[in-house]
Amino acid sequence: MKKVAFYTLGCKLNFSETSTISRQFEEKGFLKVDFQENPDIFIINTCSVTENADKKCKKIVREAKKISPNSFIAIIGCYAQLKPREISEISGVDAVLGAAEKFRLIELLDDFAVAQETKVLASEIQEATAFNNAYSINDRTRTFLKVQDGCNYGCAFCTIPLARGKSRSNTIQSVLESAREIAATDVKEIVLTGVNIGDFGIVDGKRNERFADLVYALDEVEGIDRLRISSIEPNLLTNEIISFVARSKRFVPHFHVPLQSGSNTILRKMGRRYLRELYVDRVTKIKTLMPHACIGVDVIVGFPGETDELFLETYNFLNELDISYLHVFTYSERANTRAAEMEEVVPMKKRNERSKMLRILSEKKRRNFYNENLGKDFTVLFEEDVADGKIHGFTENYIRVAAKFDPMLVNELKKVALDQINDAGNVEVREPEMVYEKH
Ligand code: SF4
């Protein structure tokens, strides 16, 4: 029995896909093992957004070769689609598969025999038109369920459409089948995953269904305690969806909404499909209906043309906005994007300074959000996340909670009263022993 190990870089989508590909291997009789357990085959799922993707990829290949010198190494993922030739030249790599090929890996590579020549099986991205269903089952608590792939937007800084292709989706019926399979396991929470999930509904280039209808249908699936919409573009987060989440017992009050810049000048240069006024409107709508909702924000600093004044616009905009945390990205040039050709490049030192300022702001926002919710009751889903005698989990509105460790709490939903923020920045439950069952 051949042993296979997986390594994943990047986003939830990559994790869901690695997990699905690993199940394909298991179904074919391969034994899935950890990276350190002398595998015969390594599958490395790469990301193009990760800083220094090339260096990371080389490092993982080196590590793999140290562990199993005679192993077969295949590279898949966004970076493999963008730079197949470059990757094929990394010493130790046996195969590179693109977006249209990665789900047919076992069929295409067949015997996984190490050969002199590196196999490069990466079609042009236009060929990646099929939707491949995927969901992760790595830990018992939460699953990333892929409902959509690719993107038709073409933001100036983004390589994802080049790496993943056009927007395409699963059908509602097929998502429901996956959700029912997941419900039959012990998993308590499904996180909907995709590149641009609000654009859900395109099959074979035609829009057939709507994301809102997917949300309604999933809400009816028995056996799933929690559903989380992960990241959704502000222009696609409609009042209809927000109002439904406010009424739903299963969809949790947590939204992650990319903003990217608080300056309309920069938003236009980025080619984003909204202005800051729309973003304020979305936040206001969410907070009016769900005052306790958590709102996470993606923001990029140092985009070309972001002067000190324009950065301050972003800073002040975020400072005044009722949001809960930021994911800050320092802009870096990516080949074959419009932004890489733009002038008024921001020096790296300034990009880093701005990133630091926003990270500090994020901490302040998170703390304020946690503080606002102290004294209230929430439901925590405890995870296998234990440190210093404490077990951790997240409330429905994404507050990270710490309670006294009890093995019986793992993968359980419990009602808790939030007490105080501890030194690690998590919220302690008032009396851990007072944790009581959800009804
Ligand atoms: S919406 Fe923009 S940033 Fe997001 S994946 Fe599409 S092109 Fe990239």
Domains of the chain (ranges plus CATH)?
3-127 (3.40.50.2300), 134-370 (3.80.30.20), 377-437 (2.40.50)
Residue 301 pairs in a beta bridge with: 330
Residue 438 pLDDT: 38
Is a pLDDT exceeding 60 seen at residue 106?
yes
pLDDT digits (tens, 9 = 90+) for 29-80: 999 999 999 999 999 999 987 777 778 899 999 999 999 999 999 999 999 9
pTM: 0.93
If one residue of 11, 78, 152, 155 were mutated to test the ligand 1 pocket, choosing by the most ligand atoms within 8 A of its CB, it would be 155
Mean pLDDT score, 392-413: 94
Asked if residue 153 has its Cβ within 6 Å of ligand 1, the reply is yes
Asked if residue 194 has its Cβ within 6 Å of ligand 1, the reply is no
Residue 431 pLDDT: 57
User: Is the C-alpha dihedral spanning 220, 223, 224, 225 positive or negative?
Assistant: positive
pLDDT digits (tens, 9 = 90+) for 414-434: 999 999 999 999 999 875 444
Query: Distances from the Cα of 234 to the Cαs of 90, 182, 225, 309, 356, in angstroms?
Result: 40, 29, 26, 24, 25
pLDDT digits (tens, 9 = 90+) for 300-342: 999 999 999 999 999 999 999 999 999 999 999 999 999 999 9
The closest-lying atom of ligand 1 relative to the alpha carbon of residue 260 is 3
CA-nearest residue for atom 8, ligand 1, is 158
DSSP secondary-structure letter at 146? E
What is the pairing mode between strands 72-77 and 3-8?
Answer: unpaired
The token pair at 63 is 């590590």
Q: State how far the Cα of 75 lies from the Cα of 102, in Å rounded to an integer.
A: 9
The CA 207 to ligand 1 mean position distance, Å, reads 18
Asked if residue 155 has its Cβ within 6 Å of ligand 1, the reply is yes
Residue 48 pLDDT: 83
